[in-house]
Amino acid sequence: MAIGLIIVGDEILSGKRVDQHLPKVIEILKERGLSLDWAEYVGDDRVRITNLLTRSFASGDIVFSTGGIGATPDDHTRQCAAAALNLPLALHPEAKVLIQQRILEMNADSLQELDLNSPDHLHRLKMGEFPEGAAIIPNPFNKIPGFTIRQHYFVPGFPVMAWPMIAWVLDTHYPHLFHQRPSDEQAVLVFEVAESLLTPMMETLEARYPLIKVFSLPSVGTETMRRHIELGVKGEPTQVAQAFMEMLLGLDQFQAEYQRIEEI
């Protein structure tokens, strides 16, 4: 199964906030022997969010979505998920209870009698309106749940809430996928060689070893290091070892200067 990440919010695209979700989700997945296959950013635009979710629902992928599930005018993710699935929004009964519990907790010290049917408290219940048939994702920070439907998992944009909720989803629903694909990675720094010269060798290695990927990360260099390419292979450990040795032999034939990453 492929795993995708959708990060929603104008504040990310405008630069008002720096995205922290992408590196953290990669870390959470890596701890479980999983990897992220794709990620997309999208602003607070209903048409764009709906189109993106329509595509991702059709993919069959496991998808996490952060942001836009509140009840303010710039929160559209709940509505867009419903539109993408052609489903109505419905107040989830468990979400209603949890939201009302949170309201009671926040007003525990108030001397005034609390009216849960007041307009502002009823508006808060919109945070529990999910596409019909959705299930909740528990929020350990403040009880306001996220929701899941069709292998899509919608959590708030706040990292303190989103990250433990994503970890909970993985540990609850996908432990059978953990550490199922052993992998390894080996690389060297190749100095002062054109990437185009190395491309045929890279293509040959990928054709010969179907369980590996070859990667090439060029650098123009720094004050302390010359121009170089980080060249390596990653994937199934046995094939990685074989492909890497062939790569070194190929570099020797080019009379290329290189240094193993672990030796730097």
Q: What is the pLDDT of residues 51-95, one digit of tens each?
A: 999 999 999 999 999 999 999 999 999 999 999 999 999 999 999
pLDDT band at 233 (very low <50, low <70, confident <90, very high): very high
Are 149 and 63 in contact by the 8 Å Cβ rule? The answer is no
Task: Name the token pair of 45.
Answer: 């635009």
Domain boundaries, the chain: 3-177, 184-263
* One fold for 3-177 and 184-263: no
Q: What is the mean pLDDT of residues 7-28?
A: 97
Contacts by 193-199 with C-beta closer than 8 Å and gap 24+? 193/229, 193/254, 193/256, 193/257, 195/229, 197/254, 198/229, 198/231, 198/254
> pLDDT tens digits, residue range 197-216?
999 999 999 999 999 999 99
Residue type, 33: G
Task: Name the token pair of 51.
Answer: 């189109």
Q: What is the mean pLDDT of residues 243-260?
A: 96
* CATH number attached to the domain at 3-177: 3.40.980.10
Amino acid 117: pLDDT:
83
The overall average pLDDT reported for the chain is 95
CA-CA distance, 161 to 168, in Å (whole number)? Answer: 11
> pLDDT tens digits, residue range 92-114?
999 999 999 999 988 887 767 78
Residue type, 89: L
Q: What is the mean pLDDT of residues 190-199?
A: 94
Q: What is the mean pLDDT of residues 171-180?
A: 96
Query: Starting from the edge strand earliest in sequence, which strands make up the sheet with 135-137, in order?
Result: 38-42, 3-8, 62-66, 152-155, 146-149, 135-137
The CATH fold assigned to 184-263 is Alpha-Beta Plaits (3.30.70)
